[in-house]
Chains A and B, each alone.
Chain A
Amino acid sequence: MTRALSGDAPTLPQEVQRTLHAHPAISPTLILVAAWITFTVINPRFLQPGALSLLVQQTAIVAILAVGQTLILLTAGIDLSVGAVCVLAAMVMAKITSEQGVPGVLAILIGIAVAMAAGLLNGILVTRLKLPPFIVTLGTLSIFTAIALLYSKGATIESGVLPGELNSTGHTWSVGAFRITAGVLLVLLVYVVVGVALRKTAWGRHVYAVGDDAQAAGLAGVRVGRVLLSVYVVAGVIYGIGAWVMIGRVGGASPNAVVDANLESITAVVIGGTSLFGGRGGLLGTLLGALIVQSFSVGLALAGVDGQFRLLAVGILVILAVSVDQWIRQVKA
């Protein structure tokens, strides 16, 4: 069969298609490099240590939420409740320390547990009631947002009343002219841990298989429901860690924070080359995607362009990324 096909040499577009198919992180890498070159040419301050450090710090929250979003998109699901879960966890962490006097570390763990429970609820609704993830998380988006607002009475909790542990993700080290926060390192750690789990473990293989073809995975002996449920729970834990990162970055817990996180995390994942239809993509692309989105914000601001153009650019990128994904998926033997 291969012999028969190798008779006619593949054309250039076919080669490109095949290469992108084998290495989905290539397109986001190219976009990021092109964006950085362009923005640096327009304004040389873009790649200065100061601006770059800020860029990375600003990316951190969306980047960590996008890890959970990647897991869920890989299973051909979608999570619209990301931001709401993150805010709920942040409010719980901040409120139980500042009002009930719960020790900082314990408060962080309880906050993460709340986020995990939220993920579990999403997972149960998806796997047991067999509801589509879009509808489930659309509903829980409102539910978790409402709980967060009711629980916090709509009030922001400033970092001043919080113990050191909660603010510790905002701690900054200077490495030469660069400034790195503990939050950024924590986000990178999450990327490494989840990345290794996805690539090197049976669980990771099953996540891809379930998203790729749930029926085939089930027939091959993969416990589809259990894998799906685990993905939603793990995503919840990641959103909980994201809440901690957010408290350090924003300087306190606000029920109105990260309102754009839902769409931004999906945007980052999709620009990063993970397929909305599941089974294809990975965390490297997501990290690049999150950086791309933030680079457009910072770069366009430094270029003195109206901030609305950022939205325009990101919108075009999303459509471009999904088109490329559609094209790659049609790769032939």
Chain B
Amino acid sequence: MTAASDPGVTAQNDAPEPATGVVLRAEGLTKKFGQVVGLAGVDLHVGAGEVLGVIGDNGAGKSTLINCLTGALTPDSGQLYLDGEPVVFRRPQDAREAGIETVYQTLGVAPALDIASNLFLGREIRRGGVAGQLFRFLDQRAMQQKAEVFLKQLGILTIQNMKQSVETLSGGQRQAIAVARAAAFGSKVVVLDEPTAALGVKESNLVLDMVRQLRDRGLGIVLVSHNMPNVWAVSDRIHVQRLGTCAAVLRPQTHTMSEGVAIMTGAAVV
């Protein structure tokens, strides 16, 4: 990776490229909503086994940026590369199929459905033969067994019964289910949009632990959050979004939270 492939990012010098290969790269993303500029040419990249934190004030274009990465929005111009290949996402489904999973703040799970059903929602395991192909009969045992494996791998052992409905779980456990789903199906990148905003401290830590595990498995992680301690705790690099552009890319080792906030709010310039 050369610096030339990252034009315009001023703070790249003190935040070098990730050690491993870049898995997701965005170049010059722009998005306008009528007269309102959401993104004015944003570059971003995340490596395999790297956590990229994304911070920014309200209206800085954080959500727009994330929606462009996950297919919820299509940028007006600019290009996404996945594993170096140019990709275009028209729908969230496209991004998902390409290996990018998203965890949302609150909308991740259907509360009345059980854990296994939620993990496999929209991607159910079906029985073989005509029953599965034509009538879409579910292989419920396989889904429950796999669900148990997923949750065990992520160390959420406190949940015993995969037939338990998700609404009987705590907020942190629910979010853990959403993260587990992303982990199970996201082969390349997991984007977490404010995953801890609705959670308490302990529960946030559970989710952050899972984020670290996904990173250690070699996934690229994009973590969007308003919670600076969370971002500083898990991120390898931090993308500061401001006024529709990338104001800086920091490392938690070289910049304090207050410095980050200062850049984010425009009180300081890199």
Contacting residues, chain A, for B138 (C-beta < 8 A): 200-202, 205
The reply to whether A219 and B92 form a contact with Cβ atoms under 8 Å apart is yes
Which among B110, B140, B173 is the interface contact of A212 at CB below 8 angstroms?
Answer: B110
The reply to whether A221 and B93 form a contact with Cβ atoms under 8 Å apart is yes
26 contacts between A and B (CB under 8 A): A1-B172, A2-B158, A2-B159, A22-B165, A200-B138, A201-B136, A202-B124, A205-B117, A205-B124, A206-B121, A208-B112, A212-B112, A212-B113, A213-B109, A213-B110, A216-B108, A216-B110, A216-B121, A220-B108, A220-B110, A220-B122, A279-B110, A332-B168, A333-B167, A333-B170, A333-B173
Sort A-B residue pairs by CB-CB distance and give the 4 closest, nearest first: A221-B122, A220-B121, A212-B110, A202-B136
A162 to B120, CA, bound (A): 50
The reply to whether B122 and A217 form a contact with Cβ atoms under 8 Å apart is yes
Size class of the contact patch on chain B: 35 or more
Per the CB 8 Å criterion, the residue count for chain A at the interface is: 30
B150 at the binding interface (Cβ < 8 Å):
no
Shortest C-beta distance, B95 to chain A (Å), equals: 11
Assuming the A-B contacts A221-B121, A222-B122, are A215 and B107 also in contact, with contact meaning beta carbons closer than 8 angstroms in the complex?
yes
Q: Find the B residue at minimum CB distance from A213.
A: B110
A209 at the binding interface (Cβ < 8 Å):
yes
Contacting residues, chain A, for B266 (C-beta < 8 A): none
Which among B92, B110, B158 is the interface contact of A209 at CB below 8 angstroms?
Answer: B110
| Chain B window 122-150, contacts with chain A (Cβ cutoff 8 Å), 1 for yes, 0 for no | 11101000000001111010000000000
A-B pairs with beta carbons under 8 A, tally? 91
A280 at the binding interface (Cβ < 8 Å):
yes
Contacting residues, chain A, for B102 (C-beta < 8 A): 219
Contacting residues, chain A, for B84 (C-beta < 8 A): none
Chain A positions within 8 Å of B, measured between CB atoms, are 1-3, 5, 18, 21-22, 197, 200-203, 205-206, 208-209, 212-213, 215-217, 219-222, 279-280, 331-333
Chain B positions within 8 Å of A, measured between CB atoms, are 92-93, 96, 102, 104, 107-113, 117-118, 121-124, 126, 135-138, 140, 158-159, 165, 167-170, 172-173, 181, 202-203
The reply to whether A1 and B203 form a contact with Cβ atoms under 8 Å apart is yes
Assuming the A-B contacts A202-B126, A212-B112, A280-B112, are A331 and B158 also in contact, with contact meaning beta carbons closer than 8 angstroms in the complex?
no
The reply to whether A219 and B170 form a contact with Cβ atoms under 8 Å apart is no
The reply to whether A221 and B123 form a contact with Cβ atoms under 8 Å apart is yes
Contacting residues, chain A, for B140 (C-beta < 8 A): 200
Which among A1, A5, A279, A333 is the interface contact of B112 at CB below 8 angstroms?
Answer: A279
Contacting residues, chain A, for B110 (C-beta < 8 A): 208-209, 212-213, 216-217, 220, 279
Contacting residues, chain A, for B104 (C-beta < 8 A): 219
The reply to whether A216 and B168 form a contact with Cβ atoms under 8 Å apart is no
Shortest C-beta distance, A260 to chain B (Å), equals: 30
Shortest C-beta distance, B210 to chain A (Å), equals: 14
A213 to B113, CA, bound (A): 10
Assuming the A-B contacts A200-B137, A202-B126, A221-B96, are A213 and B107 also in contact, with contact meaning beta carbons closer than 8 angstroms in the complex?
yes
The reply to whether B113 and A1 form a contact with Cβ atoms under 8 Å apart is no
Contacting residues, chain A, for B203 (C-beta < 8 A): 1
A280 to B112, CA, bound (A): 7
Which among A21, A203, A222 is the interface contact of B168 at CB below 8 angstroms?
Answer: A21
Q: Find the B residue at minimum CB distance from A204.
A: B138
Shortest C-beta distance, A110 to chain B (Å), equals: 26
Contacting residues, chain B, for A197 (C-beta < 8 A): 135
A213 to B117, CA, bound (A): 13
Contacting residues, chain B, for A18 (C-beta < 8 A): 168
The reply to whether A201 and B135 form a contact with Cβ atoms under 8 Å apart is yes
The reply to whether A209 and B113 form a contact with Cβ atoms under 8 Å apart is yes
Q: Find the B residue at minimum CB distance from A200.
A: B137
Assuming the A-B contacts A202-B138, A333-B169, are A219 and B112 also in contact, with contact meaning beta carbons closer than 8 angstroms in the complex?
no
